[in-house]
Amino acid sequence: MSKSKNNGIMVIGDVHGRFGDMNSLLNKKKPEIVLQLGDFGYWPRFANHVDKFGNKIKITEPKAGKAKIYWCDGNHEDHHSLKNAPLDGQLWPNVFYQRRGSTITLPDGRVVLFMGGAESVDKQYRTEGKTWFPEESITQADIDAIPTGKIDIIVSHTCPMEFEMQTMFGNHPERGSRMALSIILEKVQPKEWFFGHWHQRVVGEYYGIRWTALNMLMESGCWTWL
């Protein structure tokens, strides 16, 4: 797949902290801008974790190089730590966390809205405040944070109810954040929408809105050029 005419803008699905793999992909494809769809893998409180043998676990950091990475939160992030992110969202050089309702303008003038968040279907196996956080869900305050004006592209973690997605278990049991995104869909009416979360590569269209689900990193269909 060759670069599009849009200045090498890459969209990447769930990373889950596999920053070494992500760094290798970026070094090979050399995008100028990366839009990442949540479950980036931000767990700073595990950075100094020691395993049961007393060995410090090495955490690879994301390295954007000359690119700029803009990512939204997924459900599998340390949401408590994200509350303390710098106002500009820069957590590593050229790597920016985009809060819900934040926007960026691409070099061609298109405006991208970021709306992270989703419900964890595995939260019963996680520990609240450590590996699972109620803040993962999209709230009314998040919806209210959406700016007025033109929005061309939405980057989210999960998707509105209107985008038909299936898992191997049938319909996804989460509803809250998807229903919130349905409100945003009606309110914003973007031209394109990208999301991850489902670990599948699926494309579709809803009343003229082109939508794309991307797979998790290093699986087939985990990235695309915008």
135-144 tens-digit pLDDT: 999 999 999 9
pLDDT band at 59 (very low <50, low <70, confident <90, very high): confident
What pairing do the DSSP bridges indicate for beta strands 9-12 and 33-36? parallel
Q: Are 70 and 33 in contact (CB under 8 A)?
A: yes
Q: Is pLDDT at 173 greater than 70 in this prediction?
A: no
Question: In terms of pLDDT, which residue wins out, 217 or 60?
Answer: 217
Q: How far apart are CA 18 and CA 62, in angstroms?
A: 9
The pLDDT of residue 169 is 46
* pLDDT tens-place string over residues 22-45: 999 999 999 999 999 999 999 988
For β-strands 95-97 and 111-115, DSSP reports them as: unpaired
**Residue 137 pLDDT:** 96
For the residues 200-204, what does the mean pLDDT come to?
Answer: 96
pLDDT above 50 (res 95) = yes
Tokens 């590996």 belong to residue: 131
Lowest mean pLDDT among 46-55, 114-123, 159-168, 180-189: 46-55
Q: Which value, to the nearest 10 degrees, does the dihedral of the CA atoms of residues 77, 80, 83, 88 take?
A: -40
32 close to 8: Cβ distance less than 8 angstroms: yes
The neighbour count for residue 102, using CB atoms within 10 Å, is 19
What proportion of the chain, given as a percentage, has pLDDT over 70? 88
Average pLDDT, stretch 204-225? 97
Mean pLDDT across the chain, nearest whole number?
Answer: 91
- Report residue 74 as tokens: 């997924």
How far apart CA 138 and CA 141 sit, in angstroms, is: 8
Helix ranges (H only) for 43-171 are 79-82, 140-144
The pLDDT value recorded for residue 11 is 98
Angstrom distance (rounded) from CA 204 to CA 199: 16
User: Considering only CA atoms, which of 128, 221, 119 is closest in space to residue 172?
Assistant: 119
pLDDT of residue 48: 67
Better-predicted residue by pLDDT, 196 or 164? 196
Identify the pLDDT of residue 161.
93
Q: Is the pTM of this model over 0.85?
A: yes
- Across residues 120-147, what is the average pLDDT? 93
Task: Return d(Cα 187, Cα 106) in angstroms, integer.
Answer: 21
25-29, 90-94, 119-123, 192-196 — which is least confidently predicted? 119-123
Q: Are 196 and 37 in contact (CB under 8 A)?
A: yes
**Is the CB of residue 88 less than 8 Å from the CB of residue 97?**
no
The CATH number given to 9-225 is 3.60.21.10
